[in-house]
Amino acid sequence: MDGRCPAAHPQDPTPCVGPPVVSVLDAVGAGADGCEHHGARLLASLAGGRVYPLPDAPQGVAIRVFKAADGIRPFCWFDGPRSEPSQLSHAENRARHHL
């Protein structure tokens, strides 16, 4: 594979971790295939996103990406203070509501 997977955001400086294994779709069905790492980061940055394994993907990969995305902040490669719910991970938002 040349470069990075299609799910890698141009401003995300991190390298791929393996080949594309999932397809991440947004709320209207547009999406990109990605490695586990970038698939999770993309899913974390989408409202209403979904993840599906690619045909030859390892068993359980979509669940791993879904679980990883839960703890990742949207557009996590951007620095700066984050206090709004839309800037926090799903896990952080759940924890705030259980205080």
Query: Distance between CA 81 and CA 94 in Å, rounded?
Result: 19
Model confidence over 20-36: pLDDT tens digits?
999 999 999 999 999 99
Sheet holding 50-53, edge to edge: 31-34, 22-25, 50-53
Which residues share a beta bridge with 53? 22
Q: What would the pLDDT profile of 47-65 be if each residue is shown by its tens digit? A: 899 999 999 999 999 999 9
Report the distance separating Cα 58 and Cα 87, nearest Å.
31
Query: What does pTM read for this prediction?
Result: 0.89
Please compute, for residue 36, the number of CA atoms within 13 A of its CA located in the half-sphere on the CB side.
Answer: 13
